[in-house]
Amino acid sequence: MATQLDPDTLLDNLRTEHPRLILTEERLESLKLQAETDRTLQGFIEQIIEQADKAAEAPPLEHEIPDGIRLLGVSRDCVDRVYKLGLAWRWTGEQRYLDKAVDAITRASNFPDWNPSHFLDTAEMSHAVGLGYDWFYHALDEDQRETIRNGLIRNGLQVGVDAYGGDGENEPKRNRPFGWWKDCDHNWNQVCNCGLVVGALAIAESDPEYARRIIPEAVESLPRALTMYGPDGAWAEGPGYWGYATRYTAYGFTALRTALDTDFGLLDIEGVSEAGFAPIHTTGPTGLYLNYADSGERNERRPMFQVFWLADVFKSDFMSANEHDLIDEHGPTAQHLVWYVPRPTSVDDERPLDKQFRGPVEVALMRSAWDDPHALFVGFKAGYNQANHAHLDIGNIELDALGVRWIRDLGSDHYNLPNYWEKEDGGRRWSYWRLGAHSHNVITIDGQNQHALGTSRMTYFKSSSDRASAVVDTTAAHGDNASKTLRGVAIVEGRRAVLVQDEVTTSGETQIVWGITTDAHIDIQSETHARLTQAGKALNIYVLTSNVTLTASDAPQTHPPAKSNEGVRRLEGSILNSGTTMITVLVSPEWADADWPTTTDIKPLSDW
């Protein structure tokens, strides 16, 4: 764990020469030498040079806030240009790449501001301009250095110092104190802290006061977010924000290592070493994530350089091999060159079919096989509804089989919808269909949303050769609507079907609705049997308990800027309940061998 830092001695080990951030000259020369014999690395370089050629043709950066809230797109564009163009110049020595990269960071330095009211924009631009200043330092004349350094201080680092001190106006949209992110436990923490760290280290020899103020503040703040990886490496905000948070963790900690030769013990925090396993296990055979929280719609796993970083720091051939496989399919980013690790010659293939990620938002993943795009996969989520970017989705599931995502989470809605971030119980956020319980693959009671303050725990998880199962106590998600609710999910019948079982206890008569969201065509065969068809495949839903009636409907349609639900359907089963009710549903794909389960043993969850 990090210790209290002394600002007076903080920079005693500063690498004084440039470039000192992330990609030093020694590392670059090592990569060039390795590229002489490493054909994979040669392929990376060729593709990144092509990316740099396209970046060189892009129009000049402008200070544009198209939605009236975020400069973030411009900040990210600047980051992108610095890595692509900077790497191309440092690898080839071609002046045109340098000229375009310097133009980008000079223009950004002359912007009137970096939009500190949405501080992610400021942090990402501090990273971009600071890294460019460091990488291009010896190619800049003194006037250019002064322009860039002054812009970095004025628009980035001094604003950051003010934020740590709370010296600024509240955020206009959400009325949060300036610098609120230093006390949070989610992606804003890593992005804001690590972006400022990169910028401060870039000019630490000429303007050390910024590093001496920013780095101790960041080192104190970062554990609040890093502990959220614990104990197994997953991320409460969902897979999309795992990528964002971990990306900036890699930027910041690599910069600390190359500039100061320390990470202040922060990477020893429990769960960080396991983080690279999360995107691997939460990806189904279709390539789609278990898509909880404000993740992008149909969020497909793509290469992420931060997996290379984690693989290198924590010496995991499994992580690096998996990332290389993704790059073979989708291609590398420029950052994959910076953090390059060779493809391992052999990897232990003892991958568990089932995995539980514990922590503040627990998930369980179960599958019939790896490396089979037609395998059966189910993801199951617990957690709490006030997690950053959370939906009302305690007990949610998603399911792949036969190369199709059959049961799915729609992901986020448009962030600029009115009061989208109003998360309290009764907040407007929960009136948006995609975010509430009624779009998720859960039960609802008497038509009510889940409780916005609801919490849950995964009380049971077990994996064996032919079966895996997990149980979540969802009682608190339903507030006063039920005295006890449990959901169990199991992969059964030799891993050829999935069982979903809900047990609900209420004090009076209530209507319980079991539901799933799908893109498939739904054919109601009977009150207790529905057949879903999609992409030439079929899957059956069998209700194995009595008094449940299945119905199908189209999802509610929306108007811009809300995201469209066109083509989305709901399958629901309703039952009137008094006392304790069990709803047991078997999800059974129609396998190519024409042998699929239509029933399975039913036991109370207490006997699982």
Q: Give the start-to-end residue ranges of the domains of the chain.
A: 25-338, 354-597
What is the third-level CATH fold of 25-338? Glycosyltransferase (1.50.10)
Q: Look at residue 1 in the predicted model and tell me its pLDDT.
A: 47
Specify the amino acid at residue 173: K
Task: List for the chain the helix, strand, coil content (%; round to 5).
Answer: 40, 20, 40
CATH of domain 354-597: 2.70.98.70
Give me the half-sphere count of Cα atoms (radius 13 Å) on the Cβ side of residue 160: 34
Tokens 């975020």 sit on residue = 70
pLDDT for res 3: 63
At residue 537 the predicted structure's pLDDT band, cuts being 50, 70 and 90, is: very high
Cα 555 to chain centroid, rounded: 26
The whole-angstrom distance between residue 467's C-alpha and the CA centroid of its chain comes to: 28
- pLDDT band, very low/low/confident/very high, at 347 (cuts 50, 70, 90): confident
310 in Cβ contact with 319 (< 8 Å): yes
Quote the pTM value. Answer: 0.97
- Paired residues of 235 in beta bridges: none
Mean pLDDT of 176-195: 96
Does residue 336 have a pLDDT over 90? yes
Residues 6+ apart with CB under 8 A from 99: none
276 and 233 Cβ atoms separated by less than 8 Å: yes
- Give the whole-number percent of the chain exceeding pLDDT 70: 99
Q: What percent of the chain clears pLDDT 90, i.e. is strictly above it? A: 94
**For 169-184, how does the pLDDT look when each residue is reduced to its tens digit (9 = 90+)?**
777 777 788 999 999 9
* Section 121-141 average pLDDT: 98
What mean pLDDT do residues 197-219 have?
Answer: 98
What tens digit of pLDDT does each residue of 24-69 get?
Answer: 999 999 999 999 999 999 999 999 999 999 999 999 999 999 999 9
> 424-455, pLDDT tens digit by residue?
999 999 999 999 999 999 999 999 999 999 99
| Long-range contacts formed by 140-144: CB under 8 A, 24+ apart | 140/102, 144/102, 144/106
122 SS3 class? helix
Closest among 284, 360, 608, 376 to 471, alpha carbons compared = 608
Mean pLDDT of 403-415: 97
Give which of 228, 332, 242 is closest to 279, Cα–Cα: 242
pLDDT > 80? residue 2: no
Pick the more confident residue, 496 or 345: 496
Burial 286-302 (b: 16+ CB within 10 A, else e): bbbbbbbbbbeebbebe
Residue 289: pLDDT over 90:
yes
List the beta strands (DSSP E) in 535-594: 537-543, 549-554, 569-589
Alpha-carbon separation of residue 92 from 25, 28, 88, 95, 374 (angstroms) = 14, 12, 6, 9, 44
Continuous segment of H or E residues that includes residue 513: strand 497-518
Q: Of 358, 316, 364, whose CA–CA distance to 232 is shortest?
A: 358
- Is the pLDDT at 388 greater than 90? The verdict is yes
In this structure, are residues 249 and 263 in contact, taking their beta carbons and an 8 Å threshold?
Answer: no
Name which of 92-106, 168-182, 465-479 the model is least confident about: 168-182
The dihedral built from the CA positions of residue 542, 543, 545 and 546, taken in this order, carries a sign that is: negative
Q: How far apart are CA 506 and CA 558, in angstroms?
A: 34
CA dist., res. 91 & res. 464, Å (int)? 50
